[in-house]
Amino acid sequence: MERLTEFLVWLPAIVIGFSFHEYAHALVADRLGDHTPYYQGRLTINPLAHIDWLGFLLLALVHFGWAKPVQVNPLNFRRVTIRTGMMLVSLAGPAMNIVLAIAGLLGLKYLPFILTADNLVIAARLLEPLVWINVILAAFNLIPIPPLDGSKILAGLLPGQQAEFFYRLEPYGTVILMLLIVSGVMETVLNPFIHMVMGILNLIV
């Protein structure tokens, strides 16, 4: 019951983080000329458009899940190359999570001047998960392993042959990712990165 209660407290932050992350991918793809996300109903912050129900169920049970990936056709991009377009679309998701985390931190900083003590406790109970979930989502998705956003961002920055390595890695990326998670290596690597990002955002705010 305690774990269920905790999950329900964190649920709004999880839903917001996932929904805005995927919406950002869809929005940037649409602005670059690919309207595939629009036609598939992904150009929205409605969580129902972005929830993968298996990923959501696993999130509730084992605290690891995923949203429905936004499908993009890079051949439709205008004014940018395919590599640059995919880099921008991929960067949009983590960038949106960082914006949400900053918004949450600003709320925690300035709401004490506006709310009563009781309301402030409720607001803080909701905003703290919003900050942490979005920092975690941003940090996790920036890892350069396919299918995570970081692999496409790095591929867009590297020269051709080096970038090609990440494209060739894509069929095996999910297996590599799961092995890193199950073995505990991912947590060891990710935790310092998460706390570094949180420290930087705290300094900014």
Residues 96, 22 contacting (CB under 8 angstroms): no
- Our answer to whether residue 22 is catalytic in this structure is yes
Question: Could you say which of 22, 128, 164, 187 is catalytic?
Answer: 22
CA distances from 186 to 124, 140, 143, 172, 183 (A): 29, 9, 10, 16, 8
Q: How would you write the pLDDT of the chain (205 residues) with one tens digit per residue?
A: 677 777 788 999 999 999 999 999 999 999 999 999 999 999 999 999 999 999 888 887 777 888 999 999 999 999 899 999 999 999 999 999 999 999 999 999 998 888 777 787 888 888 999 999 999 999 999 999 988 999 999 988 888 777 778 778 888 888 998 899 889 899 998 999 999 999 999 999 8
Closest CA to 40 of 53, 55, 23: 23
Instruction: Kindly report the pTM of this predicted structure.
Output: 0.91
